[in-house]
Amino acid sequence: MLIFKLALKDFLSIKFLKYAFIPLLFSFLFVSILVIFGFSFLFNYFNTLFSIDENSFWAWLYAFHFMQIIIAIISILFSSLVIIFASVFLALFITSFLTPFIVKEINSKYYHYEIKNEISFIKIIFEFLKILLKF
């Protein structure tokens, strides 16, 4: 129980809250911007799709205002679901690169273990780029 109290106390500190919420906020903003532009492209696609042939059933159905509202609501709901899931996965990806800093903080606070071969953030990025370039 003592370990759980210490972990909760550490998690609620300002430093660890930054490690937890900054990646989530960055990824949420990034994915939100992508979805906003994607939603405008989707709406333009619907407008061009239904305005090609004036005598088609889909153009007649899309002419009703309630159909446009239903399509907009479904698009917004789907976009918000994509925002939530994509921002969480992107935040997990960003947080994985912050793991050495989190471990260093916990080590300096509780364990005082001397690290002999410390890996810098730049080395991590170079290794990641090497993996990407192999594909």
- Convert the pLDDT of each residue in 114-131 to its tens digit: 877 766 767 777 887 888
Report residue 93 as tokens: 């990806």
Domain holding 83, by residue range, is: 23-134
What pLDDT, on a 0 to 100 scale, did the predictor assign at position 51?
65
Q: Name the range with the highest mean pLDDT among 23-32, 34-43, 45-54, 115-124.
A: 23-32
Considering the chain, what is the average pLDDT of its residues? 81
- Convert the pLDDT of each residue in 94-116 to its tens digit: 888 888 888 888 888 888 788 77
Least confident of 33-37, 43-47, 70-74, 125-129: 43-47
Label residues 74-107 b or e (16+ Cβ within 10 Å = b): ebeeebeeebeebbeebbeeebeeeebeeeeeee
Report residue 13 as tokens: 């500190």
- Mean pLDDT, range 65-77, rounded to an integer: 84
Contact by Cβ (8 Å): 70, 117: no
Report residue 23 as tokens: 């990646």
How many domains does one find in the chain? 1
Count the neighbouring beta carbons within 10 Å of the beta carbon of residue 27. 21
In a domain, 6, yes or no: no
In a domain, 18, yes or no: no
